[in-house]
Amino acid sequence: MTVSCRTRTTHALPIPTCFTPSIRPCCVTTAIAPPTPGAPRLSRELGVRLLFKRDDLTGFALGGNKARILEYLVADALAHESDMLVTGGGPQSNHARITAAAARKAGMDCVLVLSGEPPAAPNGNLLLDQLLGATLVYTHSKEGKETDRLIEEVTRSYRAQGRRPYAIGRGGSSPQGVAAYMLAVRELLDQLDARQVKPDHIFVATGSCGTHSGILAGVRYYGADIAVNGITVSRPKSEGQQRIAMLVHDAAEFLDIDIPLAPEDIVIDDGYIGAGYAIITPEARAAIRLVAQREGIFLDPVYTGKAMAGMLDWIRKGKVAPGSSVVFWHTGGAPGLFGHAQDFIA
């Protein structure tokens, strides 16, 4: 799919006026522009200039990429006079945790539809969900489609009771979420411009595809010559590519803008999933330890650990040219480490 685009000579643009009526920040989540520090020890070891986009430091509810997305989804919920957010994910879902916190900050209730069975003792993100007073509904199934079905069912049930629920799909993937990450790309480019750094690659964990879609759409919209490489943690490559194409298309329609996108722009590697979603791999475990011990940065076992394992493998195999400037987009998730403690016990 290739979409025509108006000519753009620079990415240093104001927020497009077409964004203004479509997306509205509610200021309940992101308080700061997360930094993009270098990683000197890893850079020397790998032979590239490595930087981290620290969205684990978005400044709300222990951080993470979902804070940017919720900024706009909560604004939309408030505009619709909703009194409750309903979403879902796994028991250690970062999206669920930040949604519950955003709901409380905005004065709303929250219902979380979580896959599987209730654990004997909550930890990690699940403990935080309970501290936030979210209502937890378990699917008794590990199938994502069952979570999606129950989100819809729960939403209908509360609406029938006279409540005003606002349903958010797993991961918050939506046109608003894509727009939020298009603006995040502008933020990144401005930060790197100030340091005279031109990135060659961005690596990001690909799950529900919203963040990957927004980064890719932003890179293409602002005319930046950067390869966006997604390391998928769950979906097969073909499914992820189709979903990203759909999300970018829907965001372009929602914002009434042109986003140039060709099939070859959607780069996904599904070689690092391992045994399945949320099941740690030896390579991810090693990557988490490496980054912690070289740079003092914590990754998580579900998303960023696998994405880092993929990026390291690409670099070591020469798929990234020596001396390249590489940005690893840290999407957060460190609270999930505590739900996987057994995976790190020697």
Residues that are catalytic? 93
Contacts of 88 (CB under 8 A, 6+ apart): 96, 112, 113, 114, 115, 139, 147, 148, 150, 151, 170
Q: Which helix (H) or strand (E) holds 98?
A: helix 94-105
Task: List strand residue ranges (DSSP E) for the chain, in order.
Answer: 49-54, 84-89, 109-114, 135-138, 165-167, 201-206, 227-232, 267-269, 325-330
How far apart are alpha carbons 118 and 59 in whole angstroms?
29
Residue with tokens 């994502």: 144
- Amino acid identity at 186: R
Q: How many whole angstroms from its chain centre is CA 73?
A: 14
Q: Which helix (H) or strand (E) holds 73?
A: helix 66-79
Q: Are 132 and 85 in contact (CB under 8 A)?
A: no
**Which has the closest alpha carbon to 169: 210, 203, 200, 198?**
210
Report strand pairing: 84-89 vs 109-114. parallel
Look at residue 159 and give its three-state secondary structure: helix
How far apart are alpha carbons 279 and 166 in whole angstroms?
31
Residue 263 CB neighbour total at 10 angstroms: 9
Contacts of 117 (CB under 8 A, 6+ apart): 138, 140
Concatenated DSSP letters for 285-312?
HHHHHHHHHHH-----TTTHHHHHHHHH
How far apart are alpha carbons 200 and 96 in whole angstroms?
33
Quick one: DSSP state of residue 268?
Answer: E
